[in-house]
Amino acid sequence: MNVEIIAHRGFSAIAPENTLAAFELAIASKANSIEFDIQLSADSVPVIFHDATLDRITGFSGKVREQNLSQLQKLDAGKWFSDEFSGQKIPTFAEALVILKKVDKFLYFDVKPHCEWSDSEVADFVNSLQGAEIQHKCVITSFSEQFLAQVRRVDGDLAIGHIVANLEAYKTQLSQAVAHGDNLISSQYRILLENPALIQESRSQGVDIVAWTVDDPEDMQKLIDLGITRIVTNCLIGFF
């Protein structure tokens, strides 16, 4: 069975998450795909960053959405992880594309639900994917139903995935995926281990499954034995 190994926020076990260094190391380590988080700066530039606030990663107090790009790029997004990565910046999506284009299989965009996008901001974002000629590699995932609906209106052909973190949400979002013709659920992996019947139930309705975030080799093997072929991990090493 061919398993697609998806680097969670890049190779985030050995480099600061969502940085160019983490993406480069993921590709060098032969990850098949990369997952990363995306939201907007105050001046509507898509940037790669997980949290709504900057504190944990940069030590700066404030929200990503309230800072202009010029302010965000003065911050250090690597030093918190180790001095070796001091100076890593919060990358824009455009900057990261130079590296991400090299990914073999897919780019999984986790669009943060705490960041609301206008229709024009979504259109600009989708157009940038088309302009870079990478739309065939892109999977747009989000907890935000509103954002997914906005993407569908702009480009009905982009692959869309629903992120779920508990069993109740899984059942609800599976129905949503089927109703909209979306072909993916990105599920917290323990839901699948505890409810393996969901796997066949989903696939019988044309919806495939990504399992996140799996760092225990035993759990990974259990998922593979259940037929899961798309797995998000921080660790990468030892899974090839």
Name the class of domain 4-233: alpha beta
Give the pLDDT mean for 116-128: 97
Domain map (residue ranges) of the chain: 4-233
What pLDDT digit, counting tens, does each position of 149-190 carry? 999 999 999 999 999 999 999 999 999 999 999 999 999 999
All residues at 6 or more sequence positions from 31 whose CB lies less than 8 Å from its CB, including other chains = 5, 6, 7, 11, 103, 236
Give the pLDDT mean for 130-143: 96
pLDDT of residue 238: 57
**Which of helix, strand or coil describes residue 188?**
strand
pLDDT at 130 exceeding the cut of 50 = yes
Mean pLDDT of the chain: 96
Contact indicator for 99, 31 with CB cutoff of 8 Å: no
CB burial readout 56-74, b (16+ within 10 A) else e: ebbeeeeebbebebebbbe
What pLDDT digit, counting tens, does each position of 207-236 carry? 999 999 999 999 999 999 999 999 999 997
pLDDT of residue 84: 97
pLDDT at 240 exceeding the cut of 50 = no
